[in-house]
Homo-oligomer: A and B are copies of this chain.
Amino acid sequence: MYQIGFDVGGTNLKVGAVNDDKVIVARRNVAFPKGETYQNITALMAEQVRALAQELNISAKDFKSIGVATAGSIDAAGAVILHAHNLGFHNVPMVDEMHRYFPDVPVFLANDADAAALAELHAGAFRDKKTAVLFTLGTGVGGGIILGGKMFKGGMGRGNELGHMVIQEGGPICTCGNKGCIESLCTATWLIQQGRRVIVEYPISLIHEKAEGDMNLVTAKTVIDSAKEGDTIAKDIFNTYVGHLSSAIASIAVLLDPEVVALGGGVSLAGDFLFESLRERVKEKSFFKVYHEVVPAQLGNDAGIIGAAMLARNEE
């Protein structure tokens, strides 16, 4: 039996058929047709499902479920995409639309960060765990929470926005308008901004050298690699970053008391250099003496597809 998982992002519309072993056995990837009506977009999605069925030599109505993981906010019933600005989606009745094409297949909808946590639960870093928190560290900070062995959908069904917890009152202005949110201090964006500052202020740093003195060439990796190679200024930035992130992790841990915290997204690719330093700082700040794990997320770019495919199981 196969379950369909869609990962709908502003750049790519990805979809896969996932088998009972939680492996993606067939997949398709098309450019997200930005600017199209949602009806045209869901028609394109239905086409992908049919193509996957054909590839697997089954009928589309034999898929056990269809799950859609999307950027943006979902209604409490899990049926409508309320707002996904970078998709141009506003009040899109995704579940009804999919049902129009596949009336016999159960359809589920979730936020992509929540779905990613669910994917880790079924097939990644959260296997055999009941309570866990996933941070995705990229341009912004997203997050998904597992409680009681289920994807936590938020008390009122609006999911979580853990990136907008405040860890530094009066800190940098966040995309949401507040100051000092996790998202304003723990993103790749923050690392890039700091790296650019170095280009301007300290022309002899390794960051400057790696980016050839060009602000636009500074990435989070530039800064982290420079720190790893021992550059003093880069190490300073990196340590400050780890300070912010460890505060964020320790804060959520005292509230939810999780077994494990996993990090995904671009920044998490820094590997042991990041995780060893981070574990030490989180430990210092941990209130509970029995100490939860801090590990890399395992599913990377497939988290959305697998998590979306697992949405049906979350309702069992």
Q: What is the interface of chain A, defined by CB distance below 8 A to chain B? A: 130-132, 145, 147, 154-162, 164-171, 176, 178, 180, 243-244, 247, 250-252, 254-259, 285, 287-288, 290, 292
Contacts and interface: CB of A to CB of B under 8 A. Distances in A.
Most buried by B among A168, A255, A257: A255
Where chain A touches its partner, the secondary structure class is: loop
A288 B165 CA distance: 12
A72 to B, nearest CB: 13
A243 B178 CA distance: 12
A131 B156 contact: yes
A254 B165 contact: yes
Contact of A167 (B158, B169, B243): B169
Contacts of A292: 156
A80 to B, nearest CB: 15
A147 B155 contact: yes
B131 A162 contact: no
Nearest to A145: B255
A166 B167 contact: yes
A111 B132 CA distance: 22
28 contacts: A131-B156, A132-B155, A147-B147, A147-B155, A155-B257, A156-B257, A156-B290, A157-B257, A158-B257, A158-B288, A159-B257, A160-B254, A160-B256, A161-B287, A164-B287, A165-B252, A165-B254, A165-B255, A166-B250, A166-B285, A168-B168, A168-B169, A169-B180, A169-B244, A169-B247, A176-B287, A178-B285, A255-B255
A-B pairs, top 10 by smallest CB distance, nearest first, are A131-B155, A154-B257, A165-B251, A161-B254, A155-B257, A168-B169, A166-B247, A164-B287, A164-B254, A155-B258
Contacts of A285: 166, 178
A160 B254 CA distance: 6
A255 B258 contact: no
A118 to B, nearest CB: 16
Nearest to A165: B251
Contacts of A256: 154-155, 160, 255
Most buried by B among A156, A168, A178: A156
A91 to B, nearest CB: 14
Contact of A255 (B160, B180, B244, B288): B160
A258 B152 CA distance: 12
Given A156-B259, A159-B257, A166-B247, 13 more contacts: A131-B155, A131-B156, A147-B147, A155-B258, A160-B254, A161-B287, A162-B255, A165-B165, A165-B252, A165-B254, A169-B247, A178-B285, A251-B251
A154 B167 CA distance: 21
A258 to B, nearest CB: 5
A147 B160 CA distance: 14
Contacts of A165: 165, 251-252, 254-255
